[in-house]
Amino acid sequence: METPYSIYGPHTAMLASDLIIAKAVEYAIRSGDNDIVFELLNSSIKLAIGQSFESELSGRLTSQ
């Protein structure tokens, strides 16, 4: 099965995932359940950190 990444490329796939996360946070805020909001925010932070590590590692592998 093709993925959005393989169909549209990394830039568009990442923009779409950012939008999905933002909408999830919006819906969580509207629900009034702060536990859900904090979980989504923590997940977003962990995702960003993971992407940063991946970019750093990718740069090291391609420069060798």
Reply yes or no on whether the pLDDT at 62 is more than 80. no
Q: Is residue 55 part of a domain?
A: yes
Q: Is residue 43 part of a domain?
A: yes
Q: Is residue 44 part of a domain?
A: yes
Q: Is residue 57 part of a domain?
A: yes
Q: Residue 61 has what pLDDT?
A: 62
Nearest to 51 by CA among 10, 2, 22, 1: 10
Q: Is residue 30 part of a domain?
A: yes
Q: Is residue 32 part of a domain?
A: yes
Number of domains forming the structure of the chain: 1
- Phi and psi (nearest 5°) for 63? -90, -5
Domain that holds residue 32: 20-62
Q: Is residue 51 part of a domain?
A: yes
Q: Residue 59 has what pLDDT?
A: 75
**Could you read off the pLDDT of 1-36 as tens digits, one per residue?**
898 889 999 889 888 988 998 899 899 999 999 999
